[in-house]
Structure 1
Amino acid sequence: MKKIACLLFALTALPFLSFKQDFSKPVQLDWDTHFKGNPDNNSPFYALTAMTWRYSYNSTVYRNRVEIKLNNQVSIDKNRSWVKWDKIKNPEVRASLLHHEQGHVNIQYILLLEADRVLKNRTYSVKNYKAQISQLANEISNFFDTMQRNYDEETEHGSNHKMQARWDEIIEDKMNESLEALNTGK
């Protein structure tokens, strides 16, 4: 079987489909809905899912304590996400590649949950809370960028089915753990 390849890029783009504050479940990818962009014929990969994480907040200082109201969202840019249809004519290959791409979306969903939990549940200094929030957000982003790269490398972009199954379990466990932590406030 040909090696299936795909790559996720966290691209800054206008959000078209967002998880927004609905943390109940990740968006379920569909070839027809989410992959409208023109493929990069120079890319060795068969698909790309373009996603962006954005956050903003409003802050209030009360009794020498900073409280933030967080707006946290992840979006899939369907016009920058693409697939090379000529490379994935076999229905099984298509399904396998879409499953792999869904793993990227699920990892980004975990980022959304963790960012909400971590950024809201910190005590910030009144003097430098903006820098503290920015630093935490960068750490979260870097952690999940690394996770995305590891996912691609270890699954060989979805073509190593044994490692894909292992990552499916890791992602599912982390999603459940993150949802539970968010719901219990831990």
Structure 2
Amino acid sequence: MLLKPAAMLGLFSLFLIVLSARPAFSQKNQIDRINLNWSMYKKLNNSNLPYIAYTAHRTLHQYRATQKGSQFSLVFKVGVSLDGQQSTVDLRRLATLGEEGKKNLLNHEQGHSDLAVIYGRVLYKSLTKKVYSVKNYQNEVKKIYDDTLKELAEIHARYDMETLHGEEQAPQAKWDLYFKKELKAS
């Protein structure tokens, strides 16, 4: 059977449409590095806090659930932002540091920020690769979120312990390489 040119064009067009079809719920989420500077911090004077600076972040997630017949899909969005009210610097104590000390301290705090971004990306990947049950998806999402933030808290503590809160430059340099590698990879 020979097809007329118009019919062949129609079949060819249908073939191209099928080849270029995209998944209905394609997911993409960009979490960019937050480049810190001291102006982003809440300024304190003469605080009784044990450290000169603290860096805090918020990791938020949201999702949209869609069900059509037996198909169930979740589309996620994850964001990481600096918490400007909880991120503090004691200006009096910061002034006691030389320029190199200020630079090193800000670099250490940048590491905490980089960890928040890296784990925001980990959270997004974990959320999007899971297959969820219709009846329990909210609890499943919450568990992934809670587990990821618990792991983030543990790695923040390990980072501070290994670097002595940024005072030990050799371990800090190793962590800096880790941050650079992870931020590029994810």
> What is the TM-score with the length of structure 2 in the denominator?
0.77
Superposed CA RMSD: 1.7
Percentage of matched positions with identical amino acids: 26
The residue number in structure 2 matching 1:49 is 55
Gap runs ≥5 in structure 2: 1-28
Q: Which has the higher contact order (CA 8 A, sep 6+)?
A: 1
Out of 139, 144, 150, the position equivalent to 1:142 is: 150
3-state secondary structure, aligned to 1:88: helix
Aligned residues of 1:36 and 1:78 also touching (Cα < 8 A): yes
- 1:108-151 Cα shifts (integer Å, max 9, x gaps): 01011111111012111112111111111111111111111111
Match of 1:154 among 162, 170, 180: 162
Q: State the partner residue of 1:7.
A: none
Structure 1 segments unaligned to the other structure (5+ residues):
1-20, 180-186
Aligned-partner Cα distance in 2 for 1:133–1:52: 17
Q: Distance in 1 between matches of 2:70 and 2:145?
A: 23
Q: For the Cα contact (< 8 Å) 2:46–2:93, is it kept in 1?
A: no
1:56-135 equivalence runs, <5 A? 56-89=62-95, 90-135=98-143
- Deviation per CA, 1:147-185, whole angstroms, max 9, x where unpaired? 1111111100000101101111122222233x2xxxxxx
**Aligned residue in 2 for 1:171:** 179
What residue identity is the alignment partner of 1:91? E
Tell me which residue corresponds to 2:9.
none
Report the TM-score, using the length of structure 1 for normalisation. 0.77
Match of 2:35 in 1: 28
Residues 55 and 87 in structure 2, CA contact (< 8 A), matched pair in contact too: yes
Report how many residues are paired: 156
Q: Which amino acid aligns with 1:46?
A: I
SS where residue 55 of structure 2 aligns?
Answer: strand
- For the pair shown, the structure with the greater C-alpha radius of gyration is 2
Cα 1:173/1:71, change in 2 over 3 Å: same
Cα deviation digits, residues 35-70 of structure 1 (max 9, x gap): 124357121101011211111211112343431121
